[in-house]
Amino acid sequence: MKRALVTGVTGQDGAYLSQLLLGKGYEVFGMLRRSSSGDVIDERLRWLGIAGQVTMVDGNLLDLSSLLRIVQEVRPDEVYNLAAQSFVKSSWNQPLLTGQVTALGAGNMLEAVRLTAPNARFYQASSSEMYGLIQEPIQSEKTPFYPRSPYAVAKLYAHWMTINYRESFGLHASSGILFNHESPLRGIEFVTRKVTDAVARIKLGLASELKLGNIDAKRDWGHARDYVHAMWLMLQQDKPDDYVVATGRTTSVRDMCRIAFDHVGLNYEEFVKVDAAYLRPAEVDILLGDSTKARTTLGWDPATSLEDLIREMVDADLARHRKRAR
């Protein structure tokens, strides 16, 4: 039985990845940072019905000693480093913490693997945000980076450290440059989930408007369930490498709102208000990924359309709010 260690196990991707690995017969260990909300922290794992099947280990990306201990104890075959301060907007409010967790935290994890399990395969959660002020209209592994937020700067450090540890120490370390991916388990502060949650509340008479920032921003949105499959495929290759994971279709926040409101028979224009509070000091206007390499080398294919993704999210938020109302 293969053993996988997943950091960020309580997040969106950690939950879907754990589900995938358990389905493939892995023993899954999730790193849990100490929290005062221990009774609800595994909500996403519970949503997928797998909470009891993941073995939790106590640690924090900021504490190298905890990572060394965990890697020694777990003896993983595969390590997926998904933990991060992952919200771009917060990275301007907490720029140094974002650097410590998202950048140096990945360095800590690489060190723990190099020192205690150098034969383990390592996955780093890199991000399309690294392209930022895009240097090419369609971004591939060869496109130069131009980060536009403290989050993206931190991810760039982690990305290059992963490549450096591969080249310096021969680690089987791969980096997935994943474009935005969403699901009913997406954090509520991200724009898709903020929209689908608001659509559900408006439909049920619990809210009357939705305040957003730059609704002309465009993203290449896919489903998290499809994207964690690409992570796993990367670690099954003989050679470690870097891969863009994207759908190849970009859509504005405005059109994503249209899809979400249409699903419940409402017109988004009547409810969406632009509020400057949600604008960012520097914006990533548009992202569009070229995942040819992942498709040809890994045989990966995104199965879910944006319309199906958004409808699934709206339906899940409707169900959540109906349940709360009962």
Active-site positions? 127, 129, 151
Bridge-based pairing state of the strands 210-212 and 242-245: unpaired
Calculate helix-pair angle for 150-169, 105-116, nearest 10 degrees: 20
**Residue 7: contacted member of ligand GDP, ligand NDP, none (CB under 5 to 8 Å, by partner type):** ligand NDP
Contact 68, 108 (CB under 8 A): no
- If DSSP states are collapsed to H, E and C, what string results for 177-190? EECCEECCCCCCCC
Least distance from C-beta 94 to ligand NDP, angstroms? Answer: 11
Q: Which amino acid is at 36?
A: S
Least distance from C-beta 247 to ligand NDP, angstroms? Answer: 12
- Interface with ligand GDP by CB under 6 A: which residues? 88-89, 129, 180, 189-191, 194, 212-215, 217, 219, 253, 278, 280, 283-284
**Residue 226: contacted member of ligand NDP, ligand GDP, none (CB under 5 to 8 Å, by partner type):** none
- Interface with ligand NDP by CB under 6 A: which residues? 7-14, 33, 35, 41, 60-62, 82-86, 101, 105, 125, 127, 178, 180-181, 187
Least distance from C-beta 87 to ligand NDP, angstroms? Answer: 7
Closest by alpha carbon to 252, among 192, 299, 210, 301? 192
Q: Which is nearer to ligand GDP, 44 or 172 (CB)?
A: 44
Least distance from C-beta 291 to ligand GDP, angstroms? Answer: 17
**Residue 11: contacted member of ligand NDP, ligand GDP, none (CB under 5 to 8 Å, by partner type):** ligand NDP
Q: Which residue has the tokens 């899954």?
A: 28
Q: Which is nearer to ligand GDP, 156 or 235 (CB)?
A: 156
Closest by alpha carbon to 43, among 14, 3, 20, 21? 14
Report residue 78 as tokens.
């595969």
Q: Which is nearer to ligand NDP, 14 or 147 (CB)?
A: 14
Distance CA 261, CA 195 (A): 9
Report residue 65 as tokens.
């000693």
Least distance from C-beta 210 to ligand NDP, angstroms? Answer: 20
Q: Which is nearer to ligand GDP, 69 or 280 (CB)?
A: 280
Calculate helix-pair angle for 253-263, 306-325, nearest 10 degrees: 50
